[in-house]
Amino acid sequence: MIKAGILGATGAVGQRFVQLLADHPWFEITALAASERSAGKKYGEVAKWRLDTDLPENVRDITVVSTKPKEVDADIVFSALPAEDAITIEKDFAKAGFVVSSNASSHRMEKDIPLLIPEVNPEHLALIDVQKKKRKWDGCIVTNPNCSTIMMVLTLKPLMKFGIENIHVATMQAVSGAGYEGVSSMAIMDNVIPYIGGEEHKMETETQKLLGTFDGKIVKDAPFWVSAACHRVPVMDGHTMSVWMRSKKNPTPEQVKNAFLKFDPKLGDLPTSPKKAIIVREEPDRPQPRMDRNQGRGMSVSVGRIRAGADNAVQYVCMGHNTVRGAAGASILNAEVLKKKGYL
Amino acid sequence: MIKAGILGATGAVGQRFVQLLADHPWFEITALAASERSAGKKYGEVAKWRLDTDLPENVRDITVVSTKPKEVDADIVFSALPAEDAITIEKDFAKAGFVVSSNASSHRMEKDIPLLIPEVNPEHLALIDVQKKKRKWDGCIVTNPNCSTIMMVLTLKPLMKFGIENIHVATMQAVSGAGYEGVSSMAIMDNVIPYIGGEEHKMETETQKLLGTFDGKIVKDAPFWVSAACHRVPVMDGHTMSVWMRSKKNPTPEQVKNAFLKFDPKLGDLPTSPKKAIIVREEPDRPQPRMDRNQGRGMSVSVGRIRAGADNAVQYVCMGHNTVRGAAGASILNAEVLKKKGYL
Amino acid sequence: MIKAGILGATGAVGQRFVQLLADHPWFEITALAASERSAGKKYGEVAKWRLDTDLPENVRDITVVSTKPKEVDADIVFSALPAEDAITIEKDFAKAGFVVSSNASSHRMEKDIPLLIPEVNPEHLALIDVQKKKRKWDGCIVTNPNCSTIMMVLTLKPLMKFGIENIHVATMQAVSGAGYEGVSSMAIMDNVIPYIGGEEHKMETETQKLLGTFDGKIVKDAPFWVSAACHRVPVMDGHTMSVWMRSKKNPTPEQVKNAFLKFDPKLGDLPTSPKKAIIVREEPDRPQPRMDRNQGRGMSVSVGRIRAGADNAVQYVCMGHNTVRGAAGASILNAEVLKKKGYL
Amino acid sequence: MIKAGILGATGAVGQRFVQLLADHPWFEITALAASERSAGKKYGEVAKWRLDTDLPENVRDITVVSTKPKEVDADIVFSALPAEDAITIEKDFAKAGFVVSSNASSHRMEKDIPLLIPEVNPEHLALIDVQKKKRKWDGCIVTNPNCSTIMMVLTLKPLMKFGIENIHVATMQAVSGAGYEGVSSMAIMDNVIPYIGGEEHKMETETQKLLGTFDGKIVKDAPFWVSAACHRVPVMDGHTMSVWMRSKKNPTPEQVKNAFLKFDPKLGDLPTSPKKAIIVREEPDRPQPRMDRNQGRGMSVSVGRIRAGADNAVQYVCMGHNTVRGAAGASILNAEVLKKKGYL
């Protein structure tokens, strides 16, 4: 078993890491790190557990440590740190020799740090060598994208062959994306909030890095623009996205659907990879977050309503579980690929 | 006082007509018409009243009649009929000499029937003369647009001067748009439904008629396309729309904002017209349905988040009350303009 | 494998039966019966599937039959029929030799028909012999209680030893209890409906039969009264109940808690019986429907907030999954006991 | 005009005070006090306004002061302070000569401080004289009850003549009762939380003081007990309560209903007092928070489902707007009575 630590273990994404790693066949939770306030106490006491499965028994009595490399006994650390903490702490861990699989946004856009979706751009992992060499680190940092970006980009990957020219996307995002205390009930009940700070910029820029070309040294941005409009809706889990895709080859909706159906990322049989990365729904009113978010144990993205838009665009809707595929599950899948490729 | 009847008086939009007309300074409810099942009974008995103000006392004891012209004592009828009934009944009333102000979709796209938003295309009212002449009717039919179309088109009107080239719009629509029994709680709680039958087509085609040019005989479609994606969200009232507007003159967000601020439809002081047809919100996270839907007694459309999009588009969000500005209130405002212009 | 039919297979509870029986180790779905309208068509075509797991593949292509005994090839039928249909159809099946395990309310209070919760009153099953003899049936009918009754009575069973004198109970019930189209979103969003037709009467009378004494011929009502107040709240699944229990022996909250903890119904290892019928939560704010409804695969009832009430009552809150433990799961567990005891 | 200050003006209840006082015919807002953090800044800048009417123009530019008597220019101060601050600050203001009309819980149960509902116990106002004498204060403190208590006690007042023996009450409370950030959306969406800290104790004890007898010196508790169970539900505004009332005279539901209908608190025509303090609903499924919370501009309590319970109890449901009648509106009505009775 590979020894795994979790940084920011008490928060919403941290708890999801604990839940998903509790029975993981490759990783064993050996360290739970959180703020000084929690350090020294048992996890079961400091983590106000909010998932609808019980706190795993074997985790309850682990003593929380602080987020310092010397306190953490692990080979890999999963980071659920807030961005403002991750910016220094993750580097400290990489310098100290840890593999850091991060869900934080802090390092995603750094030129020598891979922003990874295993089904989309596994070749970008080679940036790790660039990174280690340049920074003289024993360890490394690998990041996963923003929760909205990841759902959309998974569906864009099989459409790259059509010569994407531009993307318009409107999101309808779940409250869990903001963390447990992130959205008050008075703010969102019977309401839509047409603003999520920084989210549109992340979708627009991360997509270009993810679908960009790695030339052995750097990743060149994908040659199309994305224009995003992000909204919060009264949904617990599951981000829904309405996409317009315009491309050089003007595929029919049927051709786009077939591209989704035939998409095979050839990941092999990893513990966290879903049987199907993309599930195509035929019903006129799907995907829906409440119905489809748990597909593939939360790791599949569902698409539907593939139809012809104006001006040769193809429109469709995609949806995935934002705290599984869009956060903790993404980091774990990244780690599994790291292991498989020998980086761990 | 002008004698007013309501067709389809017991349903959700019918009740909204009753509520809004109860204290109207120009119109007096003289007839409530509904299906044969309800005819002959008192309105208070057959209408399961669902608005959060009490059923007006002066309406409770009115005996409901059937939707036949000879049963209805009125100068104008407001139609909240379902489309499949409206298609014949509204014509019967027009033929019988009534002015029909309709919220139904049945006749909106007929070439000689005005599709009207008073602040947008009052000159289209002259179609009434074409209509009467051609059909040899004493009365006439005037329609208001679909609830989603109306909010968006109100905000597009002041942007016409920039030479609109195309519109992408994603909607997040309230459940009341589907009528009281239209959306079950199990369907929409904790969920998004990315499909509303026929809605996208209505937004795409009605917009072109509304913003088209009347040449004295017919309305020529506006010279740009609209591409819509419609979604239902767990909101009671208030349709929110995320808009991308691309135009020849590439205005800055500031110029777009000023166009909204300066928009003056010169309607004069009608009982139902709001002080401001368009309200510009400066906060980064507005408009929101729960906060802004009752602005201008439900007749104002609120806009916000005006920003630069990719490829010279301007993005913004607009929102309005779908059963007031988007339905009953729209028909009543149309009727007020009919009266003012001498058609009633 | 025992051949199992489902009556009323297309509705909300019917779908739950299909979901729970699809992989059942003892029962095999051999017939799906529904109204004449659906008969002759494939289940996958007529059942608008609304659960968040996919429609089981092996069920999709079964041809639906009508609810007539000669059409149904099965040893046992599970009834999810509406009460007005169940009243005759279930008798037809029992007469024709089927074992009928019913979730309908029609026959629950008939003197010779068992109203069964296996953990509570398994000795009432002997009523089957009374029933068969009296009615000269080859088959029989066994019923499970109303969804609210069942959660409360499970928790009352271990408290019987304290000499219960009376129960006050206020329920907060999920929308799924009313079926898929039962509660419109406009009725319940941002709302509480303090009325569920017939529910209070069911809780008050069914409890007395369930906890009554079987003397070999009839069941004598339990010697205490129940006073119920039922409310619908905006929750998808999971009925929450606030209980005041007054008893002769005035136990302390600690004694009541211990009675819950020690409760062992000695059901043995049935496929559907949960490891713990009653789960005691220690947190001050549990049980909660969203967090606890899936405990024991939806078959456990969770209790908490056990505290001293005024006038020597003990107060507590209990909660369980209304369409699993409170409906389809209850009928299936009943059937498992029937099998184990040799009635099937 | 009487000069009015608001303590804790930026929070949820503070904003409600601002909204309700903005057009008040007797009171003029002359001071807005909040924490040191906000002091010195304009109200429009520091108060994140969350009500669905716009921030009143005449308040936007008022400079916020700190919560010290010498900073506040007013004859009366309305307190929306948190309990931990109110305990000292309100006394400072009373000592300094201000009339303090408080919504905080800190001083409600002090023997010489009136806990007031004008329609229920106006005679308790004479405690002010006891208070001033004992404490040697120029000013005084008057409090209003907890938001749940106030709805229930208003309905109990006309039932006192039946000789109430005990009350069981289960509440279903809105999220706004906990303040804007009080309940996270992840905590309450699709959920019930069966716990509100301190709430049950408040309902049980405040009721006895409110309905107790003032003998010229102290208030003697009412001679019956209340047993409360409090729950949070996904409702924005409006607390719903299910009540069992047992009394010596065993009135019929009809007699109880008549007592409600005839209830006339003889308050006279105060600006904030509703035309009817108690509104009786005849529909089987009312009152409902979404439908009835704004009755009497939020100051009426609606009752319904009056029915016979077991053991001679009468059951009914009552509901009122928790941040209007249950908080800011209550303090303002108290102040109006103070003015009318010459204490201001």
| Whether residue C127 is found in the same domain as residue C208 | no
Per CB-CB distance under 8 Å, the chain C contacts of B192 are: none
Determine whether the interchain pair C52/A189 forms a contact, defined as Cβ–Cβ distance below 8 Å: no
Instruction: Out of D192, D242, D290, name the one closest to residue C235 (CB).
Output: D192
Chains that touch D (3 or more CB pairs under 8 A): A, B, C
pLDDT digits (tens, 9 = 90+) for A227-237: 999 999 999 99
**Looking at residues D258-276, what average pLDDT do you find?**
95
Distance of CA B74 to the CA centre of its chain: 22
Q: What is the pLDDT of residues D101-154, one digit of tens each?
A: 999 999 999 999 999 999 999 999 999 999 999 999 999 999 999 999 999 999
What pLDDT sits at residue B176?
94
Residue B52: per-residue pLDDT: 86
In this structure, are residues B326 and B151 in contact, taking their beta carbons and an 8 Å threshold? yes
- In this model, does residue A290 exceed pLDDT 90? yes
Q: Say if the Cβ atoms of B184 and C181 lie within 8 Å.
A: yes
**A147 is annotated as an active-site residue:** yes
A227 and B310 in contact by Cβ < 8 A? yes
Interface of B with C (CB under 8 A): 12, 50, 175-176, 180-190, 234, 236
pLDDT given at position C256: 98
* Cα separation, C144 vs C126, whole angstroms: 15
| B326 in Cβ contact with B333 (< 8 Å) | no
When divided into structural domains, chain A yields a total of 2
Q: Which residue of B has its CA nearest to C184?
A: B184
Rounded CA gap, D159 and D256, in Å?
Answer: 7
Assigned token pair, B74 = 């009125």
Same domain, C120 and C185: no
Output Rg (C-alpha) for chain D, integer angstroms. 19
Do residues D334 and D328 lie in contact, with contact meaning Cβ atoms separated by under 8 Å? Answer: no
Q: How far B42 CA lies from chain C's nearest CA (Å)?
A: 23
Q: Which residues of C touch D164 (CB under 8 A)?
A: none
Kindly report the nearest CA distance between residue B174 and chain C, in angstroms: 10
What's the gap in Å between the CA of C158 and the closest CA on chain D?
Answer: 22
State how far the Cα of D195 lies from the Cα of D177, in Å rounded to an integer.
13
Parallel/antiparallel/unpaired status of strands D278-280 and D301-308: parallel
Please indicate, yes or no, whether residues A274 and A164 belong to a single structural domain of this protein.
yes
Q: Do B153 and B114 lie in a common domain?
A: no
Residue in A192, A207, A317 to test binding to B, most B beta-carbons within 10 Å = A192
Residue A269 confidence (pLDDT): 87
pLDDT band (50, 70, 90) for residue D69: very high
Are C296 and C271 in contact by the 8 Å Cβ rule? The answer is no
C26 lies in the same domain as C154: no
pLDDT band at A138 (very low <50, low <70, confident <90, very high): very high
pLDDT at res. C315:
98
CA distance C8 to chain B (A): 19
Q: Which residues contact C129 (CB under 8 A, 6 or more apart)?
A: none
Query: Do residues D97 and D193 share a domain?
Result: no
Chains within contact range of chain C (3+ C-beta pairs < 8 Å):
A, B, D
Going by pLDDT thresholds of 50, 70 and 90, the confidence category of residue D268 is: confident
Task: Please name the residue of chain D whose CA is at the shortest distance from the CA of residue B45.
Answer: D283
Contacts of D301 (CB under 8 A, 6+ apart): D151, D154, D155, D277, D278, D279, D318, D319, D320, D325
State the Cα–Cα distance between residues A140 and A112, nearest whole angstrom. Answer: 10
Q: Walk along chain C (344 residues) and give the pLDDT tens digit of each residue.
A: 999 999 999 998 999 999 999 999 999 999 999 999 999 999 999 998 888 888 998 899 999 999 999 999 999 999 999 999 999 999 999 999 999 999 999 999 999 999 999 999 999 999 999 999 999 999 999 999 999 999 999 999 999 999 999 999 999 999 999 998 999 999 999 999 999 999 999 999 999 999 999 999 999 999 999 999 999 999 999 999 999 999 999 999 999 999 999 999 999 889 999 999 999 999 999 999 999 999 999 999 999 999 999 888 999 999 999 999 999 999 999 999 999 999 98
- The CATH number of the domain holding residue A207 is 3.30.360.10
- Tell me the pTM: 0.96
Chains that touch B (3 or more CB pairs under 8 A): A, C, D
Other CB atoms within 10 A of residue D3 CB:
15
Tokens standing for residue C256: 């009541």
Question: Which whole number is the average pLDDT over D239-261?
Answer: 98
Residue in B189, B236, B290 nearest the CB of D190: B189
Q: In this structure, are C292 and C161 located in the same domain?
A: yes
Q: Report which of C207, C316, C213, C209 is spatially closest to residue C260, judged by C-alpha positions.
A: C316
Predicted confidence at residue B337, as pLDDT, reads 97
Helices (H), chain D: 12-21, 43-46, 57-60, 83-95, 127-135, 147-156, 185-188, 199-210, 253-262, 289-292, 329-340
Q: Which residue in chain C is spatially nearest to A236 when comparing CA positions?
A: C290
Same domain, B152 and B287: yes
Nearest chain A Cα distance for residue B241, angstroms: 9
Which single residue is written with the structure tokens 């069914």?
C206
- Inter-chain contacts counted by CB atoms under 8 A, chains A and C: 19
ipTM tops the 0.90 cut? yes
Supply the pLDDT for residue C172: 98
pLDDT band at B50 (very low <50, low <70, confident <90, very high): confident
Q: What is the pLDDT of residues B216-267, one digit of tens each?
A: 999 999 999 999 999 999 999 999 999 999 999 999 999 999 999 999 999 9
- Interface with D, mutate which of B283, B291, B300 (most D CBs under 10 A): B291
Contact D317 C229 (CB under 8 A): yes
Catalytic residue among B140, B147, B230, B318: B147
The partner residues of A239 in beta bridges, in order of sequence, read A320
User: Do D237 and D97 belong to one domain?
Assistant: no
8 Å CB contact of A190 and D236: yes
Query: What pLDDT is attached to residue A268?
Result: 85
**Is the peptide bond prior to B194 cis by the omega test (within 30 degrees of 0)?**
no
Q: How many CB atoms lie within 10 A of CB C327?
A: 24
Check whether A281 has a pLDDT greater than 90.
yes
Q: What is the mean pLDDT of chain A?
A: 96
**Cβ contact, residue pair A52, C291, below 8 Å:** yes
Residue A52: pLDDT over 90:
no
And the tokens for A276? Answer: 């199907």
Q: How confident is the model at residue B212 (pLDDT cuts 50, 70, 90)?
A: very high
Chains A & D: contacts with CB separation below 8 Å: 52
Q: Which among C50, C52, C236 is the nearest to A294, CB-wise?
A: C52
Q: Which of B140, B239, B318, B321 is catalytic?
A: B239
Shared domain for C12 and C86, answered yes or no, is: yes
Instruction: Give dist(CA D42, CA D268) in Å, integer.
Output: 37
Q: In this structure, are residues D318 and C229 in contact, taking their beta carbons and an 8 Å threshold?
A: no
Q: Are residues A95 and A155 in the same domain?
A: no
- C-D contacts at Cβ under 8 angstroms: 120
Which stretches of chain C sit within 8 Å of chain A by CB? 50, 52-53, 189-190, 236, 290-294
Within this chain, do residues A209 and A139 fall inside the same structural domain, yes or no?
no
Contact D187 A185 (CB under 8 A): yes
Could you tell me which residues come within 8 angstroms of residue C107 by beta carbon, excluding any fewer than 6 positions away?
C86, C87, C90, C91, C113, C141, C143
Is D147 a catalytic site residue?
yes
Positive or negative CA dihedral for D246, D247, D251, D257?
A: negative
Residue A234 near residue B233, CB atoms below 8 Å? yes
Domain that holds residue C273: 147-321
CATH number at residue A123: 3.40.50.720
Instruction: Exactly one of C140, C147, C230, C318 is catalytic; name it.
Output: C147
Q: Which of A189, A190, A290 sits opposite C52 (nearest CB)?
A: A290
CB atoms B291 and D52 under 8 Å: yes
Contacts of C176 in chain B (CB under 8 A): 186
- The full length of chain A comes to 344
Per CB-CB distance under 8 Å, the chain B contacts of C189 are: 175, 185, 189, 234, 236
Q: Are B101 and B6 in contact (CB under 8 A)?
A: no
